[in-house]
Amino acid sequence: MSITAHVSPSPVLRPPPEQEEPTGATRHLCAGVHIDEDFRDLVIKQVCTAPSRRAAPSYEFDLVPVMRHAWLSLHLTSLSRSGLLTALAAPYFWGLTVTTLLVAGGYVLLVLLDHAWRISKELTRPEEPLLTKKRRKRRPKLPSRSSWKYGEESKRLKNTGAFALVLALAMMVLAFSHPIQGTLALYLGCAVALLTAIVGGLRQACINHAHKATALRPKRLSHREKVVDEQQKHPCVVYQRPAHKKDGEDEDAGVFTLFGEESPFIGAGELIHQWNPPMSVQLLRKGSDDKPLHEREHRHPPFKPHELMDHLRAAVADLREDHENVRLPAQVRDRIYVSHSDVSTDRSILRESVDPVAMRRIIDRQDSAHQHFLEVSVPDAGGELVATVLLQVRVRGRTLSLAFAACALTRNPDDFRKAEEFGQHGKRAIVSAAWHDLFRLPRHIRSLGRITRYPFYLAKALSGLLHRALVLRGIDFTLVPRRNIGIGSRISVRQELAEDWSKVQLDKTTLLGHIKNVEQRLLKATSDFLDSHGVDVSDFDDRALQIINSGIVNMGGTNDFTNTAVGDQAHQQTQNPPSTPNDSQNGKAA
């Protein structure tokens, strides 16, 4: 399919404009790569050094500054660990054996002291957490901590302390017997401590910059950052289909969902609401119900699918024009979902931006390979909360079919917002971070083996640069077919660390309220559009009313209604026949 790129994009099809000031989610993610090392490695591994995979779409955050801060955090951490290794390896290569032993003994002594402090903290920990009076009554009484556990921990603490004391005495004897090498070991230890404090202060300075800067996006982007920037805003999303199950593997007996166990809407958050099955309405003419079907139905659809999409898009965009206090900042865009196996044969849709003419052609063709959805995103709390609604329209067999899904993107970890919540973003915070990094020096020593990841990531980035310069000559890796390499997006770094939906408290009401508002708007606008095109909307309005009044987030399954009596002079039966799978009432409430 040829994609034209010469028509100027329509304002409604264009991705949302970049804000001059970064969102709160972007600031928190930039700070998170300095706070959480595992999250930083995730960004480096899955985004920065993975040019063969498409980047997932970004919702209310910018991935480019997160990538830049991830590299910066990796360099700072590697600098601190390189100082630890240099202080140990340099005297060894110079033949200063005593200095090497003293430095290594100092590392071991710090680790032992940290281990002893952890054991003592465990011994002084209270048996039960502080509970409210109401919860204390409901909670069953737990057995007290056995004495043998205290005995074992006390024994471990004594053994650790004794070993640390023996090691300290041995080091003192060795240092006094070789005073020059002992002094050199002391200088190296002070240099390591100073370097650790400086790196801790620089890391906090980076967090302060992410918290206060009016612009986090770099002025000059690298080639990889430019590619990721284009992919995170592209209307086409390449998702991965689940692998086929082998013979003998048991099928999951879970609840049936329309979009499968793994949501294809990567980056949008957890799939929490859907119409299951999709709503289907016959395109019947207005008039008496006594007429036969062939006289009532529209033999030719009275509208094209893209016309309905244009009407819905305009109806939702009107919500942005309300008063500031009641305005719903809904962002409307067209999104095309393509499987990684389908896009491997034709990647023309990825090479250039999809203009309005090509988008209407995709909507009207209703191709099974290019799944079009109207996407409505409603951000809240500075981008920490995002409610996303996706609606698909199909007109086949003289019937209008609507598929609906809603996803929720919840907050980042609380540690990422420390600079904002506790005021840790000034000069005092830099000094405090440097001081705390000194106390965390034993943890840096224990994680010294992770420095091997630094040259590995650098080698991957360098190999990508060389391959791009010599073979692809600056072309995006995902646009060139390569053997046995899929380009589908695996994960979204923002979604991986989002709070689990089952643990969200008051934010649920906010997200579900946005979803219901958009859902009602889409249903009412669809009813008005069908009515204006001569379609009988009585059946559609009945089903829409059932959906709106539904108080459950329907994820599929079977609803059984037993011991009920409906109608005049109806009587309740004492015994009901066993229900079957065909008795499901999901078709109406969706």
Residue-wise pLDDT tens digits, 248-275: 555 554 555 677 778 899 999 999 989 8
Q: What is the mean pLDDT of the chain?
A: 82
Q: What is the DSSP letter of 252?
A: P
In a domain, 341, yes or no: yes
Among 124-138, 308-322, 539-553, name the most confident range. 308-322
How many CA atoms lie within 13 Å of 398's alpha carbon, on the beta-carbon side? 14
510, part of any domain: yes
Residue range of the domain that includes 523: 235-241+257-413+493-558+580-589
Residue-wise pLDDT for 473-508, tens only, equals 667 788 887 777 788 898 999 999 999 998 888 999
Helix H or strand E segment including 281: strand 279-282
pLDDT greater at residue 64 or residue 16: 64
Yes or no: say if 408 and 270 are a contact pair by the CB < 8 Å rule: yes
Range with the lowest mean pLDDT among 156-160, 242-246, 496-500? 242-246
- DSSP classification of residue 79: H
Given a cut of 60, whether residue 326 has pLDDT beyond it is yes
Q: How far is CA 82 from the centre of its chain?
A: 32
Q: Is residue 210 part of a domain?
A: no
What is the tens place of the pLDDT at every residue in 355-391?
Answer: 889 999 999 998 888 999 999 999 999 899 999 999 9
Instruction: Indicate whether 246 pLDDT > 50.
Output: yes
Q: Percentage of the chain surpassing pLDDT 90?
A: 45
pLDDT average, residue stretch 560-580: 47
Give which of 13, 34, 16, 36 is closest to 497, Cα–Cα: 36
Q: How many domains does the chain have?
A: 1
- Lowest-pLDDT range of 157-171, 174-188, 501-515: 157-171
Contact 464, 235 (CB under 8 A): no
What pLDDT does 585 receive? 39
Average pLDDT (422-451) is 86
pLDDT the model gives residue 163: 87
Question: Would 111 be classed as within a structural domain?
Answer: no
**299 falls within a domain:** yes
Does a structural domain hold residue 196?
no
Please state, in angstroms and as integers, the Cα–Cα distance from residue 113 to each residue in 95, 106, 161, following that order: 29, 11, 8
How sure is the predictor about 556, in pLDDT bands with cuts at 50, 70 and 90? Answer: very low
Partnered with residue 285 across adjacent β-strands are: 535
| Bridge partners for 280 per DSSP | 401
What is the structure's pLDDT at 422?
64
Q: Encode pLDDT of 89-109 as tens digits.
A: 999 999 899 999 999 999 999
Q: Residue 408 belongs to what H/E stretch?
A: strand 399-409
Residue 271: phi and psi, rounded to 5, are: -75, 115
Given a contact cutoff of 8 angstroms between Cβ atoms, the answer to whether 421 and 384 are in contact is no
Residue 397 lies in a domain: yes
Strand pairing class (279-282; 331-339): unpaired
* pLDDT confidence bin for 564, thresholds 50/70/90: very low
Q: Tell me how far CA of residue 162 lies from CA of 113, 126, 156, in angstroms.
A: 11, 26, 10
Whether residue 329 lies inside any domain: the answer is yes
Q: So what's the pLDDT on residue 297?
A: 81
Q: Which helix (H) or strand (E) holds 339?
A: strand 331-339
Least confident of 130-139, 439-448, 451-460: 130-139
pLDDT given at position 474: 66
